[in-house]
Amino acid sequence: MKKVLLLLLIISTTVFSTSCSKDDDNPNPYVGNWTGTIDGGFVGTWTGKILPNGNFSGKVITNQSSPDHDFSLSGQVNQNGDLVGTMKNTTFNITTDFIGSFQSKTGSGTWTFNGAGMDGTWNSSKN
């Protein structure tokens, strides 16, 4: 009987410890690929990726007639889902603030180009 109880204790401890380890495998729930839209002074779509360390990168494709108007995205997403980043166009030397927040499956925020008095919003969903 003692052997049976010991065996049950070992099995339940093993099951409990492995079921809890899944939560620690990916401490940043925002990790993955995201797609969305931007509106305002620039209109278009964007794609991006959040890495496990919170690094954020991507690209904005504007609805302008030329790819010269496209932007690269970079920034950092913290454990609360808050994004602080930039939207940069090297052709015209434009850098805008790209800030907002992500939830588990959606994200939203604003972008601001202070030098030109332009701004807008962005929305996203996780792929």
Is the pLDDT at 11 greater than 80, yes or no? no
Give the distance, in angstroms, between the CA of residue 122 and the centroid of all CA atoms in the same chain: 12
* Sequence-separated (6 or more) residues with CB below 8 Å from residue 18: none
Write the CA distances from 69 to 8, 33, 46, 103, 112, integer angstroms. Answer: 65, 23, 13, 29, 16
Q: Write the pLDDT tens digit of every residue in 73-89.
A: 999 999 999 999 999 99
d(CA 27, CA 111): 27
* Sequence-separated (6 or more) residues with CB below 8 Å from residue 24: none
Look up the CATH number of domain 32-126.
2.40.128.120
What is the radius of gyration, based on Cα positions, of the chain? 21
**pLDDT, position 26:** 55
Q: Write the pLDDT tens digit of every residue in 15-64.
A: 444 445 444 555 679 999 999 999 998 899 999 999 999 999 999 999 98
The residue type at 82: D
Is-contact 51 32, C-beta < 8 A? no
Token pair for 30: 């925002």
